[in-house]
Structure 1
Amino acid sequence: MPSAGAAALSWALLWLLAPPPALPEPLDPKKNVEQKDAVFDRTYSAWVASDTLNIYAFNHTVLRNRTEGVRVSVNVLSDHKDLPVLFVVRQKEAVVSFQVPLILRGLYQRKYAYQEVSRTLCQPQTKVEVETQHFFVDVSTLSLNASYQLRVTRVENFVLRTNEAFTFNATASQPQYFKYEFPDGVDSVIVKVTSAMAFPCSVISIQDILCPVYDLDNNVAFIGMYQTMTKKAAITVQRKDFPSNSFYVVVVVKTEDEACGGALPYYPLSKRTSPDEPMDLHNRQKMLEVMVSPAITSKAYVSSMLFCLGIFLSFYVITVLIACWENCRQHKKKGLLAAMDSPSLDTGHTHSIPDSFLGHTPYMGCGYGSFENGSSCSTEAITDSVGSADASYGYVGQEQFKRRIPSAPMRQQCIAMGERSLENVAGRPRLDSLSSVEEDDYDTLADIDYDKNVIRTKQYLCVADLARKDKRVLRKKYQIYFWNIATIAVFYALPVVQLVITYQTVVNVTGNQDICYYNFLCAHPLGNLSAFNNIISNLGYVLLGLLFLLIILQREINYNRALMRNDTRALECGIPKHFGLFYAMGTALMMEGLLSACYHVCPNYTNFQFDTSFMYMIAGLCMLKLYQKRHPDINASAYSAYACLAVVIFFSVIGVVFGKGNMVFWIVFSVMHIMATLLLSTQLYYMGRWKLDSGILRRILHVMYTDCVRQCSGPMYVDRMVLLVMGNIINWSLAAYGLLVRPNDFASYLLAIGICNLLLYFAFYIIMKLRSGERIKLIPLLCIIGTSVVWGFALFFFFQGLSTWQKTPAESREHNRDCILLDFFDDHDIWHFLSSIAMFGSFLVLLTLDDDLDCVQRDKIYVF
């Protein structure tokens, strides 16, 4: 086998012995070159052949303070598509060449031929006051004989003026571009292009003052910023991006309309000799209007951000004022009750139990957990609350505590018994370490499963029946909601931030503004961000979510203090206080703001789930919190709840990517939606006392036989049955709607399912609360009314639809509208403002809705 050196030597010898390459043939000396001086605004008709070269020499005067455009228009009359005529324009700093017929390619490499071509020449800058510039137009061809027409004209209104509209026509082979110069004191402008006709599709490009200008369909995307357009287009241009303080506005009509959502043209093959033959198009002309107006100044940015901060920081101020007012009110009530309790206990024949008997100083307000930091509580209510103490805490003599004591000896005996029992309570630490607490360690019933079946299948349940588990166990169980959502937020948000930064970088580098679906008529850039207003308007979610967390923290501190002093009302009265779900809700609200801001960095259909994922979580957590209020022992664990929400988000992603018009997907989803509704209905109706196993069908048939065939008996739990029947009707209707209509926006459809179920359950809860003889206090009532009004206005602005990623970017821009607030915020920004306030108000409703029960024994609070 020859070595590498021998092989190299062989190749060198072959190269030396090879004949020299053939020299290019010299130019034909017989080629006729005809040059003539030409003038503007005159049509030159001539013939050109393979042995001729026609040169037209033009000159024009260029002023430094005045810019005029020069436009070259040609029309080839001969039909020699395989032997086109070549036009070369030689000018200072640039050479422009094009052939006629002009061949442009569309989708699937379709070819389109244009016989009439017009091109505007770029204007090189001059450093002297007056300069005469020369340029030449060379005409040549390989055809035997080709007829053409040539005309060079000056472009009127080549320089656009601020706030003055200019109307013009353009075609695919006759693009137009104009120059704009930044006036003094203007650092940013918005270029608006409109047209009365949606098609043909066109492209708007902003390019620096360079030669050549990219003004054809196949090269317009090579430089600058560009958008496809049907009826509207708008691009915000900043002076800092253009060192020459000027730029070109280029308008190109595309050969096809597919990029703007139109159908591809159909041309029968019979009209052409072969599929590769170019198609000659006519009537693809579009009339457009361009106007350049100044954008907002830096002062508008500052004032708008201060306005945004002021709105949401005012909620902090209002919260502090309410807290101070309530604190003063409670101090006054405390002094009043102390004065009322000062008289002797021996007056009269019957006496209420004194506060010394209760083992603590009267706690002002029974409302350690209320938003207003307290509410009045009568001595009789205090007596009742003590009398309802659970036997597991060592309380005795309950009947004596529940009524007024008739005589002093009996009173002294009861006081002694109460003091001994309260010593037992005081001896038990209320806030032990949760590090090793397990639910099984405190489930000490002899036959716990039997006991659960007995209690949970009663026809009328009270909260005391479903609040039997140890508080420490439940506290740990519900704290997991917060820690899990915090972990999810970190791992979810970090890749989201990285991805949207990449999106924004791609937009800035490529200039392709079709990647992101902004409201371009109200998109104010800041730094590298293209629509800063859509991002800063999400600040309300973060600030109000943080405020909600602070309110929950204050409530928990007050509640823990009540537990530390063994306050009977904290132990035995009102809805059991568990704050883990509230912390999770506040965290979810803050994450909704962060992820919505990330989505609006570059909104499109591939990242829409960033904006909706925590909306699903908020809806799910609110329903879980409503259910937890009356069912603390049997509410879902954090692991199962987040697993279900993960399935929802999974279907959201699959639906957005593959669900558009996919019948198989909609059948699978609708079936799973109905099955999940039935399983959840069974779980809620039987309070979890059922099993999904091989005998489920047999048990269903048995129930149907005994309750419907042997005897026609009504449902045992009527209220629950009404709720579940209505829920199934709504969910089955939504499933049928999705299967029949198959909406394109699957994420919003899925969110609508969650919101409808939440509203249904919330309405049911309020109705049942009023039916049970409970009342709604002033603050939650005001929150309900105010939140409902704010939600109504928020939804009005949400449905304005300023953009939609369900359509093409050009069609989406047809929905764009100007700013409506401070010339900085649009309708969607107002939706962000109002929806964040409405969500915060909704959370306060959940927080304060049952404050009227803080002094009511749990065995007198109904479960529904």
Structure 2
Amino acid sequence: MVLRSCWKSRHKNSSRPAPRLIRAGLAALFWLCVTQLACGSGAVGETKNVVQKDAEFDVTYNDTVTSENQTIYAFNHTVSRNKTEGVRVRVDVSPQNLESTILFVVRQKQAVLSFQVPLILRGLYQRKYPYNHVGRTLCQPPTRAASETQYFFVDVSTLSAQGTNYQLRVSRVESFTLQTDKKFTFTASPSQPQYFKYVFPDGVDTVIVKVNSDMNFPCSVMSIQDIQCPVYDLDNNVAFLGMYQTMTKKGAITVQRKDFPRNSFYVVVVVKTEDEACGGPLHFYPLRPDELIDAGNRTKVLDVVVSPAINSEVYVMGMLFCLGIFLSFYLLTLLVTCKTPASPYEYGSFGEFGTLVCLSSLPPTERSLDSVGRSRHESLSSVEEDDYDTLEDINSDKNIVRTKKFLCVSDLARKDKRVLSKKYQIYFWNIATIAVFYALPVIQLVITYQTVVNVTGNQDICYYNFLCAHPLGALSAFNNILSNLGYVMLGLLFLLIVLKRDIVHNRALVRNDLNALECGIPKHFGLFYAMGTALMMEGLLSACYHVCPNYTNFQFDTSFMYMIAGLCMLKLYQKRHPDINASAYTAYACLAAVIFFSVLGVVPQSGIIFCLLFFWFLPHFMPDSLHFLFLIISFLSVHFCVPDAGILRRMLHIIYTDCIRQCSGPMYIDRMVLLVMGNIVNWSLAAYGLIERPNDFASYLLAIAICNLLLYFAFYIIMKLRSGERIKCLPLVCILFTAVVWGFALYFFFQGLSTWQKTPAESREHNRDCILLFFFDDHDIWHFLSSIAMFGSFLVLLTMDDDLDTIQRDKIYVF
């Protein structure tokens, strides 16, 4: 009956609460009714002394409460529709009285707030932290009247028979409403959270709320909540409503007017009871489950600034700038194509001239027109690749080739061109199939990630640069997605360039042009098509990753980078070894193994399997050169496992069989220099991995692949020049331009605006403002420059050997 009367007496004079607030209101009413019932209000056989006092603001009330008396403080204040005023209740209890709990219940017109002192807050593993100083801001619902007087009551009661002293003070909060672009400084603690109101000014649809502090710890939480009661401002309930994120020194949340129907919101700042969420130390376990832990001084000084975000014009300018940059490459390519002289076999009139040049470079005794015609006939025959080596004359040719100290391209370009062309086209079709089946689940997953972020409001799920994250629709960081457009557009442009060259070359073959048949590096475009497709997929998957960048989906951003590095190395090798290059199935299987190891390298407790795969399984299924590369990579995982005697024996056996027993004088000095440099670079990278133990194993593995690619590319350029070949103007300009762009791109890449290797709060310490058009940050510029640099690198590979188009293949050296 008492509970029912309590419910009726409080529900009769109040409006119906919002659906999402029913649970909190009922809980507060329940505690109030239980308190009154336990203290004897209306109970049979027990008398309780209830005293009501008219109280005033900014007056400290020192009083004592026992189980036999209850004090009610009555306050009134004037509320204006055009002015929001905060009211804050502060309660202090002497540390000697922490064993006696006092219940404070604040009854307002549309809300009830209750809390106990000492306030017990729970941390990780249910650790209990008592606080005897509590400060809470009262929720102030909006009023429809121009001005009205509102009353609220503070009820103080306890079940302890021993008298407990307390201090109560109610005051108005100055600067409760935040002003645009005006910094406001305040202090907060776990038992004294703070929140303030912000109202959207006219003409501003989006703002960014920035909370900063000079103190790393204690760990804090900033939250954006709608104007409604109750306000969730404690560590154990701040995540119930709105958007929130943990922070140490920096925190920023972009807020849009459309998400708040009252055109205003609360900025809530809560100091957590523990620091583990922000990367702080882990506290000890309590000896007893009910043991209270002294939290120490966890007061933090912070400041908050609310600034207008960019408007729609900046969005349009950013998109036009992005499109303009990459469309200019299309225009530049068109101009270069129109002004560049035709290739020796592009048109029929140039075909005969090219033939004369090609044949005139050879002595008549070494090559005759009959042999040229016979080679042309063989190249156009319908011989299958699998049947080619069964011919007796081929076996004799192999023996002759093996006795040559210096091989030429003609020695390794004997297979049927049509068969090889189909073989290398498989690279393109395979990577296209991989792209489709890889991209579809990735897109579905990142849509789920973004939906979870939008629904839960948890801003710790994704590692954005929150100081330069511009939302559009459901996307939280549209600018990071837009900047990946360059990979797609330039990848498509490269495919068009390759397609043009492929068409011109096929027309020359149809005309039986001798330059196309017998001169220059054999033209196989399958790998180039695969490279262009990989560049486009890198843009798509990088955009998917930046929808919600975090630890679990980082592989989306790096998988096709491995593909690009591997395809470029294969293309460099194919240029001088067209007949013996790896098949598409073998190449993609090895790349899949590398991606698998990159994932395995970051999985805990996987080091033993990782080492065994490298040292025992892979050597039996790979050639020595490829195993050497994987052997180098395997040393990066030594810190994941402890080598045993078997592994050491295997290492010594490899060193003995591959180095000591077969040791002899180097036959090819240039190749020896490459191997020495490769050993120095790779062992240095391995030593770095053992010493530093990088957390980002996938990026570390990618760095190794890129370093080896650059080393092989430098070797190719040096050997090309040492062989008497030259580099034409166009590829030379591409090399210089690409080197400069790569340098600037890497500078912006290493700025490190966020990192999922740390906690979200620690990652936000690296956040920085936009630096380009108020729309793009350093990482966006990395996307711009790296896409341009990759496109330039592909052009270098495509045009680097154009100087050989009129040189007979038996005069082009293999290296």
TM-score class normalised by the smaller sequence: 0.7 to 0.9
CA contact (8 A) 1:605 1:656 kept: no
Deviation of 1:447 (Å): 6.5
Is 1:543 the counterpart of 2:489? The answer is yes
2:59 is the counterpart of 1:108: no
Q: Which residue of 2 aligns with 1:225?
A: 243
* 1:770 counterpart residue number: 721
1:51 Cα deviation from its structure 2 partner:
1.9
Within 2, Cα distance between the matches of 1:216 and 1:467?
Answer: 74
Any idea what the Cα deviations from partners look like across 1:595-651, whole Å, max 9, x if unmatched? Answer: 000000000011111000000110000000000000011111111110110011001
Cα pair 2:85 2:176 within 8 Å, conserved: yes
Q: Is the 8 A contact 2:771 2:777 kept in 1?
A: yes
Q: 2:193 aligns with which of 152, 168, 175?
A: 175
For 1:422-457, what per-residue CA distance to the aligned partner results, in whole angstroms no more than 9, with x for missing partners?
6x888889497xxxx741233353165664354246
Which of 523, 534, 540 does residue 594 from structure 1 map onto? Answer: 540
Do the aligned partners of residues 426 and 456 (structure 1) sit closer, same or farther apart at CA in structure 2, a change above 3 Å counting?
A: closer
Displacement, 1:677? 10
The alpha-carbon distance between structure 1 residues 471 and 236, as it changes in their structure 2 partners (threshold 3 A), is same
Distance 1:53 1:787, change over 3 A: same
Is this contact kept in 1: 2:384–2:416, CA < 8 A? no
**Could you tell me which residue of structure 2 aligns to residue 317 of structure 1?**
331
The answer to which of 49-58 and 826-835 deviates more is 49-58
Give the ranges of 4+ consecutive aligned residues of structure 1 lying more than 6 Å apart after TM superposition: 424-429, 672-678, 681-684, 697-707
| Residues 297 and 457 of structure 1, relative CA distance in 2, 3 Å threshold | farther
Indicate which of 61, 68, 84 corresponds to 1:51: 68
Letter of the aligned partner of 1:37 in structure 2?
A: D
The answer to whether the 8 A contact 1:521-1:819 is kept is yes
Distance in 2, matches of 1:220 and 1:400, equals 86
Q: 2:232 matched to which residue of 1?
A: 214
For structure 1, the 5+ residue unaligned runs are: 1-22, 336-359, 367-376, 389-397, 403-413, 685-696
Q: Tell me the distance in 2 between the aligned counterparts of 1:699 and 1:653.
A: 27
* C-alpha distance in structure 1 between counterparts of 2:253 and 2:425, whole Å: 49
- The residue type paired with residue 199 of structure 1 is F
Question: Following TM superposition, by how much is the alpha carbon of 1:325 offset from its aligned partner in structure 2, in angstroms?
Answer: 1.9
Q: Is the Cα–Cα contact under 8 Å of residues 53 and 74 in structure 2 kept in the other structure?
A: yes
Equivalent residues of 1:674, 1:731 under 8 A apart = no
1:31 corresponds to which residue?
A: 48
Q: Deviations over 1:701-725 (max 9, x none)?
A: 89978865xxxx5122332232223
Shift of 1:322: 1.4
Bigger drift between 114-123 and 70-79 goes to: 70-79
The 10-residue stretch of structure 1 (741-750 or 164-173) with the greater mean CA deviation from structure 2: 741-750
| Pairing 1:197–2:215 present | yes
Distance 2:724 2:283 in 1: 70
- 1:184 paired to 2:202: yes
In the alignment, residue 836 of structure 1 is paired with which amino acid?
Answer: S
Deviation at 1:215, TM superposition (A): 0.1
Residues in 2 aligned to 1:516 and 1:798: alpha-carbon distance in whole angstroms: 19
Matches within 5 A, 1:89-100: 89-100=106-117
Distance 1:647 1:699, change over 3 A: closer
**CA distance 1:538–1:698, shift in 2 (3 Å):** closer
Structure 1 Cα separation of the partners of residues 392 and 618 of structure 2: 39
Structure 1 751/361 Cα, relative in aligned 2: closer, same or farther at 3 Å? Answer: closer
Q: Does 1:127 align with 2:144?
A: yes
Mean Cα deviation higher: 697-706 or 294-303:
697-706
User: Equivalent residue for 1:622?
Assistant: 568
Q: CA offsets, 1:560-586, max 9 Å, x none? A: 000000000000000000000000000
Q: Counterparts of 1:706 and 1:244 in 2: how far apart (Å)?
A: 82
Q: Counterparts of 1:699 and 1:679 in 2: how far apart (Å)?
A: 10
Distance 1:187 1:699 in 2: 67
> CA separation of 1:488/1:264 partners in 2, compared to 1, >3 Å: closer, same or farther?
same
Q: In 2 relative to 1, CA 485–140 (structure 1 residues): closer, same or farther, beyond 3 Å?
A: same
Report how far residue 668 of structure 1 moved: 5.6
Aligned to 2:90: 73
Cα displacement string for residues 241-262 of structure 1 (whole angstroms, at most 9, x for unaligned residues):
0000000000000000010000
Taking only aligned residues, the RMSD between alpha carbons, in angstroms, comes to: 3.0
Q: Give the direction of change, closer, same or farther, for the CA distance of 1:586–1:704 in structure 2 (3 Å limit).
A: closer
| 1:751 maps onto 2:702 in alignment | yes
The alpha-carbon deviation at position 93 of structure 1 amounts to 1.1
**Distance change >3 Å, CA 426–CA 469, structure 1 → 2:** closer
Report the AA paired with residue 733 of structure 1: S
Determine the C-alpha separation between the residues in 2 that align with 1:363 and 1:88.
96
CA distance in 2, matches of 1:194, 1:763: 48
Query: Distance between the aligned counterparts of 1:27 and 1:858, measured in 2?
Result: 108
The answer to whether residue 523 in structure 2 is matched with residue 577 in structure 1 is: yes
SS at match of 2:407: coil
**How far apart, CA to CA, are the structure 2 residues paired with 1:794 and 1:38?**
66
**1:727-783 CA distances to partner (integer Å, 9 max, x unpaired)?**
233223322322333211111110111011000000000000000000000000000
- Cα distance, 1:664 vs. partner? 4.9
The higher radius of gyration belongs to 1
2:635 maps to 1:648: no
Q: Does 1:861 align with 2:773?
A: no
What is the rounded CA distance, in whole Å, between the counterparts of 1:171 and 1:177 in structure 2? 12
Contact in 1 for aligned 2:81/2:142 (Cα 8 Å): yes
Q: Output the amino acid matched with 2:247.
A: M
CA deviation vs aligned residue, 1:36-92 (integer Å, no higher than 9, x gap): 111100011111111211101100000110000000001122645454100000102
Counterpart-to-counterpart distance in 1, 2:762 and 2:159: 44
Letter in 2 for 1:201: C
8 A Cα contact 1:430 1:563, kept in partner: no
- What is the rounded CA distance, in whole Å, between the counterparts of 1:682 and 1:46 in structure 2? 81
SS in 2 for 1:150: strand
* Counterpart residue type for residue 560 of structure 1: N
- Paired residue type of 2:220: S
Mapping of residues 805-824 of structure 1, within 5 Å = 805-824=756-775
* CA pair 707-126 structure 1, distance change in 2 beyond 3 A: closer
2:320 aligned residue: 306
1:155/1:707 CA distance change after superposition, 3 Å: closer
Query: Residue 849 of structure 1 aligns with which residue?
Result: 800
Count residues with an aligned counterpart. Answer: 753
**Mapped partners of 2:393, 2:709: distance in 1:** 36
Match of 1:14 in 2: none
Q: TM-score, normalised by structure 1?
A: 0.83
Fraction of identical pairs, as percent:
73
Provide the residue aligned with 1:481 in structure 2. 427
Pair 1:381 & 2:327 matched: no
Letter in 2 for 1:535: I
Q: Distance in 2 between matches of 1:429 and 1:78?
A: 96
Take 1:115 and 1:847, find their aligned partners in 2: how far apart are those partners? 73
Amino acid at match of 1:538: N
Aligned to 2:306: 292
* Aligned 8 A contact 2:123 2:273 in 1: yes
Partner of 1:830: 781
Please give the per-residue CA displacement for 1:234-287, whole angstroms capped at 9, x wherever unaligned. Answer: 000000000000000000000000100000234885xxxx44122232311000
User: How much does 1:459 deviate?
Assistant: 1.4
Contact 1:797 1:831 in 2 (8 A): yes
Partner of 1:236 in structure 2?
254
Residues 171-211 of structure 1: CA distance to partner in whole angstroms, max 9, x if unpaired?
A: 00000000000000000000000000100000000000010
Residue aligned with 2:601, SS = helix
Q: Structure 1's 567 and 459: CA in aligned 2 closer, same or farther, altered over 3 A? A: same
The answer for unaligned runs of 5 or more in structure 2 is 1-36, 630-651
Structure 1 match to 2:175: 157
Query: What is the TM-score normalised by the length of structure 2?
Result: 0.87
Residue 503 (structure 1) aligned with residue 462 (structure 2) = no
Bigger shift: 727-736 or 604-613?
Answer: 727-736
Correspondence list, 1:130-529, <5 A: 130-144=147-161, 145-266=163-284, 274-326=288-340, 329-330=341-342, 361-363=348-350, 381-384=357-360, 399=365, 430=380, 438-446=384-392, 448=394, 451-452=397-398, 454-456=400-402, 458-529=404-475
Distance 1:599 1:791 in 2: 22
Secondary structure (helix, strand or coil) at the match of 1:119 reads strand
